[in-house]
Homo-oligomer: A and B are copies of this chain.
């Protein structure tokens, strides 16, 4: 299973290129040549990315909404309509489209945050805030990892 973990902040050069962390590329394994998919996160000013093959699964999950429902339409439009498929150059970089750079408010740097099966791209400052907020949520709402059958920990 491809798991993106840790956070890395890399430089966004003036051509819009940024190195995807080597460990993220490694997580893709032999599917790295298929590239990744990026789109605007709905809830945050950041970008989200998946490995290409995960798009199919998203499609399947969307089926669980009523066909023609507003929700499905909205989500499909937001995800499929606005995603971009990016390939790595020889050095493991991708070129971020101008509008996505703007949406995430990226400047000279981009921080990649591994979230398991997906990852996010933030401006370092915005992510610092987000990190704090996430911790507070976890603490206040006492969020935990759902137990498996064997009652974890």
Contacts and interface: CB of A to CB of B under 8 A. Distances in A.
B85 A146 contact: no
A94 to B, nearest CB: 14
B23 A77 contact: no
Interface size band for A: 35 or more
Given A4-B80, A58-B116, A61-B145, 18 more contacts: A1-B59, A3-B55, A5-B83, A7-B81, A61-B67, A62-B116, A64-B146, A73-B115, A73-B134, A74-B137, A75-B143, A76-B116, A77-B115, A77-B130, A78-B138, A80-B114, A80-B115, A150-B153
- Residue of A85, A131, A152 contacting most chain B CB atoms (<10 Å): A152
A77 B43 contact: no
A7 B117 CA distance: 25
B151 A3 contact: no
A89 interface: no
A32 B80 CA distance: 21
Contacts of A73: 43, 115, 134
